[in-house]
Amino acid sequence: MNITIKILNHGLDFFILGLVFWGIWMFRQPDQAKKGNFIAGAAMVLAAGIVLFRHPPQHPYILAGALLIGSLIGIWVVARIGMIQIPSMVAFQNGAGGLASFLIAFVELMRGAGKLNVVNEISGLLGLVMGAFTLSGSMIAAGKLANRFSQTPVHLKNHTFILSINFLLVAVLMSFALGSNMSSALGVLVWTAIIAAAGLFGILFALRVGGADMPVLISFLNATTGLAAALCGMVLGNKLLISCGAAVAASGSILTHVMCKAMNRSLYRVFVPPVQQNDTLPVKQRGSGSELKEKQPATEGPDPLKDVAQRIRSSKKIIIVPGYGMAVAQAQFEVIALTEYLMAMGKDVQFAIHPVAGRMPGHMNVLLAEAGIDYDLLKEMDDINPGFKDTDLVLVVGACDVVNPSAIKVNGSPISGMPILHVHEASHVACCNLDERPGYSGVDNPLYKDGNTTLLLGDAKQTIETLLNAVSKEVNCNAVSNLSEKYDVIQSAVSVLVAADNVIIVPGFGMAQAQAQFEVVELSQILQTMGKDVKFAIHPVAGRMPGHMNVLLAEADVEYERLYEMDDINPDFQHTDVTIIFGACDVVNPAAIDIEGTPISGMPVLMAHNSKQVVVCNYDAQPGYSGVENPLYNDPKTLMAEGDAKATAVKLICELKNKT
């Protein structure tokens, strides 16, 4: 019986360990990472439950209270943290892991004072050191990532010597703790001193790591967190904790190696950078810029935005380079909207991802995944670098150091020898950055002064929105490729529009989000030239403020007499051949009439469902802000053209132009 129980227990341990490794393995693919995170997290919860089952707590109410408080704090933090704060939060949570580790080690050393064997005592002391080091180092990293501390490396006088003395102090205290028979009071004093000394070492260690090297530091601290957890597992005699901690330590170490390789620097050189004079000044101000060929900024026209928009229309191959500035501006959604529009125009669009872009490994991948990127568009540096020389236009969004040719052409700078994205080899480069200042390395970027570069300075989010509007004001159908399978439904939509005598267009908040008002108005004008009677149906609460749709359509120079209020146009729907809906859901939801007890029951809606044919140009078929499913989407007479509303409108326009 005992043997059977042992076998079952070991089998359960291996099962949980397998789940952890499976979850970590899934992190390799962006589209699987969320599921992998859930699996690994569920495995950790299951592991904690098994430990509590095998070793029932003496004070369950205290444990339950701690779990409740921790959960509430976690929920509170998550509700207030945006994607831009994710790197800082990752560093903070990493530090929390270090805190938990050294507290466990401290308690076990106290409880086993004089009773632990040498291996367990050494493990406990190392757990104190690694946990305290991870905590303090992670807090400094979190502060740098949150812009609470200086992003540039902080070099104290005789910094390396001070660190060496600090390390020696930790070693001496550990030797004293191992080589003497201490009383409990003395033990607490010595262990506390070890924690303080190790914490100070973590602070001094992390201070001189600059913002550009944050991905390496985060990876390294992730590895030390896993090591601290494994050491605690040795003290506790918990094989599962040892295995999981070792797995985290190994994966963090591998990632650290990958990050160093991406920067073409040794781990030693990252953590022990050479002291440079005036390190925050641009390279050319330190006298090392003479090796670069200075060029004058592009002067191809008085309006750089118009110039870039024209280049986009004429380009066939476009590469987008995202950087930390995109994260700061929260511009990832606008970048994806522009990407979808460009692809609808038939452009070959790819994303060039530098491994250390952002402030943590995979930062750009996470941001773009949040915005719903097609993962096939993401290309790693080594894969895409050979293609820049054949690229018509590179759009840099908030990146500096990772596209700085000084890394190749200038010796002795903080980024010398670091592999970069070779955007300077493209036919033209457009930089959508906040300003021309150097990145976190402090090295001036000669790309900004290159004759093939156009600077679009300012907030990246606003710049991309404005650029998208400028590109879309004049639809170039000659540049639009054949319809992909995703847009097959548009052929059917075009057929019903060609056959229709009258059309009603319903604009909604989705049109505003996609900035599609210019395309919608152009579509209406084309239909009018084809002899169709075209009207706009305006719901009074469409959008996010009274008159929202009127303002947007007025911006696109719509004819005001074609705008009809709900009460005036509702009787016309039953005589209408086709109703086209752009980004509207709740205001055309027949559930408001047919279903009782929903949040929109009794709300007046536009009677789009009464028309003979309906074309819905929405991003997806999800419910609107009310959360009420829209039965119109499943109606047999409805054609669902899902995707970005602006891109869909472009396809409709171009296909209709081909019919005239």
- Asked if the model's pLDDT at residue 490 lies above 90, the reply is no
Question: Residue 651 pLDDT > 50, yes or no?
Answer: yes
Residue type for position 409: K
Confidence (pLDDT) at 453: 92
Domains of the chain: 81-271 (no CATH), 283-472 (3.40.50.1220), 483-659 (3.40.50.1220)
pTM of model > 0.75: no
* Per-residue pLDDT, 485: 42
What is the chain's percent helix, strand, coil content, to nearest 5?
60, 10, 30
Asked if residue 292 has pLDDT above 60, the reply is no
- Cβ neighbourhood burial of 295 (10 Å; 0-12, 13-18, 19+): middle
Nearest CA among 647, 537, 640, 546 for reference residue 588:
537
Predicted local distance difference test score (pLDDT) of residue 286: 35
User: What is the rounded distance in angstroms from the CA atom of residue 268 to the CA atom of residue 173?
Assistant: 25
Task: Reply yes or no on whether 401 is catalytic.
Answer: yes
Distance between CA atoms of residues 38 and 43, nearest Å: 9
**pLDDT surpassing 50 at residue 290:** no
Q: Which residue has the higher pLDDT, 621 or 152?
A: 621
Number of helices and strands (H, E) in the chain? 24, 12
Average pLDDT, the chain: 84
Rg (CA), the chain: 30
Length of the chain: 660
More confident residue, 344 or 596: 596
At residue 330 the predicted structure's pLDDT band, cuts being 50, 70 and 90, is confident
Question: Tokens representing 261?
Answer: 């390789």
Confidence of residue 114 (pLDDT cuts 50, 70, 90): low
Catalytic residue among 401, 444, 450, 586: 401
Residue 86 has pLDDT above 80, yes or no: no
The stretch 370-375 carries a mean pLDDT of 78
Q: At residue 291, does pLDDT exceed 50?
A: no
Please report the pLDDT score of residue 294 as a whole number: 41
Mean pLDDT of all residues in 139-162: 84
Cβ(538)–Cβ(507) under 8 Å? yes
What pLDDT score does 278 carry? 42
- 195-220: average pLDDT: 87
Q: How confident is the model at residue 301 (pLDDT cuts 50, 70, 90)?
A: very low
**With helix as H, strand as E and coil as C, how does 158-221 read?**
CHHHHHHHHHHHHHHHHHHHHHCCCCHHHHHHHHHHHHHHHHHHHHHHHHCCCHHHHHHHHHHH
